[in-house]
A and B are shown apart, each in its own frame.
Chain A
Amino acid sequence: MATFSAITSVIFAPSLEPSFSNNVIAERTSNLKMAIGGWRKNSFPSLKTNRFCVSCSAKPETVQKVCEIVRRQLALPAETELTSESKFSALGADSLDTVEIVMSLEEEFGIGVEEENSQNITTVQEAADLIEKLVEKKAA
């Protein structure tokens, strides 16, 4: 019979090995980023976020930025694992937090998110993908 304390002490710990393909993606996207403008010195993509990101559309930097905003909004302690697959609701975000996160993302990336789309943002990855779609649309 699971006790309450047993449930709280289990930790999700993804492995941190980068693969070759991750590095290739990182290089390609870093060139793109330079083309768009602005290259942050210490923005080598986080290994943790890359781990799940090999075949996805959003750039690691975008995912990283989303993670930062989520971490700030929810005041997550440093030891809380945050990856692209992290669900906002599992991190303790209520609806007001989610709307605040969307608003911060809009300000950060200079985009506007329709309310029906903001309902569909439930994970870091989904937020990053939507942001990139909107940024592209805006640039077009």
Chain B
Amino acid sequence: MFSFVSKRLSLMMMTKVCCFQRNFSSALPPLVPVKLPSKMETHFWYVLPDEVKSESLLSQYSELLSPREKKNLYHMQGDQFKKSALLARVLVRTTIARYQTNCQVNPRSLKFKKTIYGKPEVDWENGDKWCPPPLHFNISHTSSLVACGVTVNVPIGIDVEEKQRRLKNKILAFAKRYFSPDEVKLLTAISDPEIQRQEFIKLWTLKEAYVKAVGRGFSAAPFNTFTIRARVVKMGGFHHFDTQHSEASEIVVESSDDPENLTRNWQFALLDLAGSHYAAICIEKENSAGGEAGVPMRLTVWKTIPFVEDERVSGTGAVVPISGLIKQL
């Protein structure tokens, strides 16, 4: 009798503290769980809003949001934008929930907070105390692609931008105002306006990803105080100069404020994603001794419609490395 009672009690405790999948929205199937990325491994998940057409699915997605997220969404203008904003919240909640392989977590129950610098992170306070992973995430979205990057132990920043994005201002005027002198030089040297525009967008995504990874907003790293550039890396004595096809150009960041130190710790990848977007990923290297060159970022990429389908696309035509040392898994 006693053992039965204590079993029930502990079961009830479990129910309270680790919310069951069964508890919510009975129509949605469980999320396919995924193992946490290991050290120096990055997981990258993305959703294409155009592939999510079902109104009832979108309605179920809205139910995953917190009251505050719902309120923010309510005030947004523009259907496309609202949809991608909804999917961004759904993606981050479901992605983090997938990694809770020991106790099932309801994506709806996740709470988020911001660091003093304004970077979003998971607030594990609420009852998930005994299974919080040292998980880092970062989101970025356009109206046509929503992405979430995940790492363990090290900070991550990502940025995605439509390849066709056009500036309202003149590119060089913008670069002179916001980018570093070296970057302006590089862009000025490109005579073809279309190539110049593409290189601008790529540079923008890399700079954004870096600032987001550092996590302290613009004021900690104003755009014109650091330069991001590609550097050829010797791989067994054989040089690749065509960054489009090689994985032997490393992306580095150099700070005018801080020439030797912090900037050595960051690793970048730049991808052509789904044929439509540039995606930049920046993670902190765990072992920064001597700023080891030539170690690739181990990257796994999934395209997903949460609760409906997950497709691992790393190594396929959906993910084309542009620069940075990347090893797709």
Contacts and interface: CB of A to CB of B under 8 A. Distances in A.
Contacts of A78: none
B58 A90 contact: no
Nearest to A81: B77
Interface in A7-40: 7-8, 10, 12
Contacts of A87: 75
Contacts of B177: 103, 106
B168 A12 contact: no
Contacts of B86: 4
CB-CB nearest 5 A-B residue pairs: A116-B219, A92-B81, A4-B58, A115-B222, A3-B59
Given A1-B59, A90-B77, A115-B222, 17 more contacts: A1-B63, A2-B59, A7-B62, A8-B79, A12-B75, A76-B78, A95-B208, A96-B161, A99-B174, A100-B168, A100-B169, A100-B174, A103-B173, A116-B217, A116-B222, A118-B218, A119-B218
Contacts of B223: 115
A42 interface: no
A126 B222 CA distance: 20
Nearest to A11: B77
5 contacts: A7-B74, A90-B77, A91-B78, A92-B81, A119-B218
Contact of A104 (B74, B83, B169, B222): B169
A4 B80 CA distance: 12
A116 B118 CA distance: 13
B165 interface: yes
B142 interface: yes
Given A10-B74, A12-B75, A116 B218 contact: yes
Contacts of A2: 59, 62, 70
Contacts of B74: 7, 10
B219 A119 contact: yes
A12 B72 CA distance: 13
Interface of B: 55, 58-59, 61-63, 70, 72-79, 81-83, 86, 142-143, 161, 165, 167-169, 173-174, 177-178, 204, 208, 217-219, 222-223
Given A100-B169, A119-B219, A90 B72 contact: yes
B24 to A, nearest CB: 12
Nearest to B201: A96
A103 B174 contact: yes
A84 to B, nearest CB: 15
A94 interface: yes
Contacts of B173: 103
A106 B178 CA distance: 13
A55 interface: no
B249 to A, nearest CB: 25
Nearest to B57: A4
A11 B121 CA distance: 32
A2 B55 CA distance: 11
Contact of A115 (B78, B79, B167, B219): B219
Contact of B217 (A10, A12, A81, A119): A119
